Amino acid sequence: MASLMEDFISVLDQENGEYQRLAELSHEKKQIIIDGDIPALEEITEREQEIAGILKNLENKREEVVKDMSIVLSKDPEELTITNMIAFLNKQPEEQRKLTELRERLRETLEKLNDINQQNEELLRLAMEMAEFDLTLFRSMRQAPETANYDKRANNTGDLLGNSGFDARQ
């Protein structure tokens, strides 16, 4: 069981390291979004995908370790959360301390990553709104203005002026 716990702590520590790398990339991405640097955004997204692949492999490894631990402890794998494992380790204070510290580091890292990702999401939403505004402005510049002609019910008829923008036939 001791080697399984060491493996579990090692995998969690590696996951935390990868999440920290992901948080750093997300922080870099924030400035890239602000600058509107599309090629750099593509490059950083590729790097994020690499880290996501590493994290997926670590997650699979962690799940295998938890499955092995569930067999040894005769517990359901869903019961073996980090908090429950800390409680199970009451006779092993060193492992309990390591796991507690690691849980706190993971929590801090994931909260930081979540905050940065929320900021990036808002920046991307604002950038999309700005692009939409620019497109609307561009389209309206190419369209002729409407006349102020009204029908019998006082509704705007929406007639457009000619290509010249000036109606000289009055």
Tell me what pLDDT residue 111 has. 96
Tell me what pLDDT residue 168 has. 52
User: Would you call 67 helix, strand, or coil by DSSP?
Assistant: helix
Unique residue bearing structure tokens 């716990």: 5
Tell me what pLDDT residue 146 has. 59
Contact 86, 103 (CB under 8 A): yes
Which residue numbers in the chain have pLDDT < 70? 1, 142-148, 150, 154, 156-170
User: What is the CATH code for 2-142?
Assistant: 1.20.58
Tell me what pLDDT residue 1 has. 63
pTM of the model: 0.72
Residue 145 is classified by DSSP as: P
Tell me what pLDDT residue 144 has. 55
